[in-house]
A = this chain, B = another copy of it.
Amino acid sequence: MNRTSGAILVLSGPSGAGKSSLINQIKDHIGPIYFSISTTTRPIREGEVDGVHYHFVDIAEFKQDIEQEMFLEYAVVHGNYYGTSLGPVKKALKEGKLVIFDIDVQGHDAVQNRLSDITTSVFITTPSLEELKRRLHNRSTDSEEVISGRIEMAKREVQRISEYDFLVVNDNLDEAAEILVSIAKAARMKIPTLQINEFVQTWEIS
């Protein structure tokens, strides 16, 4: 049985729950990974790197990819297209990598619809709404309006925790990171249905 096929790890949770810090802390301890980045038609900004922050493409290319069903999901925000391209994901899976998605509950839906057999999903949150508010105010990068938006979004997203395989309450960063490392390693043991079927067949004919 070919055990080199990749798998998918979906991480969701409110902005401010510490997803980015957690990903940074675990990324060198969980084997070969591919961090999925979005494709967009939005103009590249100063300091951004194509293929690092986003895959930057023009509208014609994006629309062609839509027609060819090359997106797991896409949306139009302020006239710009944003989407998750299947191409790089499939390539990384073939290379046996763990593909990590930092996406919201809608994105999680899209991944589960297409790739549920190899997907493990984790909802990451603060211990309480109060703690989330405190962290969002403390990092002071966002305006009050943006913070309010994030909090309303968080309240809605938390309602859907039960759709996820695991819940990680990020109370202590080191502890949460250790748990997430375990989940990421376990996630690689999700084998595609197709491969399971092939494996099972070799047991039938013997």
Contact = CB atoms under 8 A, between A and B. Distances in A.
A167 interface: yes
Contact of A202 (B128, B178, B189, B190): B128
A118 to B, nearest CB: 11
A169 B155 CA distance: 41
A46 interface: no
Among A162, A169, A178, A182, chain B packs the most CB atoms within 10 A around the CB of: A182
B186 A167 contact: no
A183 B179 contact: no
A156 to B, nearest CB: 10
B196 A161 contact: yes
A93 B124 CA distance: 23
A130 B16 CA distance: 52
A206 B159 contact: no
B162 A130 contact: no
Interface string A178-206: 11011101101111010010011011101
Interface in A95-146: 122, 127-130
Contact of A189 (B3, B168, B193): B168
Q: How many copies does the complex hold?
A: 2
A147 interface: no
Contacts of A182: 181-183, 185-186
B166 A186 contact: yes
A1 interface: yes
Contact of A129 (B158, B178, B191, B202): B202
Contacts of A1: 127-128, 169
A57 interface: no
A196 B162 contact: yes
Given A182-B186, A183-B189, A191-B167, A203 B162 contact: no
Nearest 9 pairs between A and B by C-beta? Answer: A182-B185, A166-B189, A129-B206, A183-B186, A186-B186, A182-B182, A158-B203, A182-B186, A129-B203
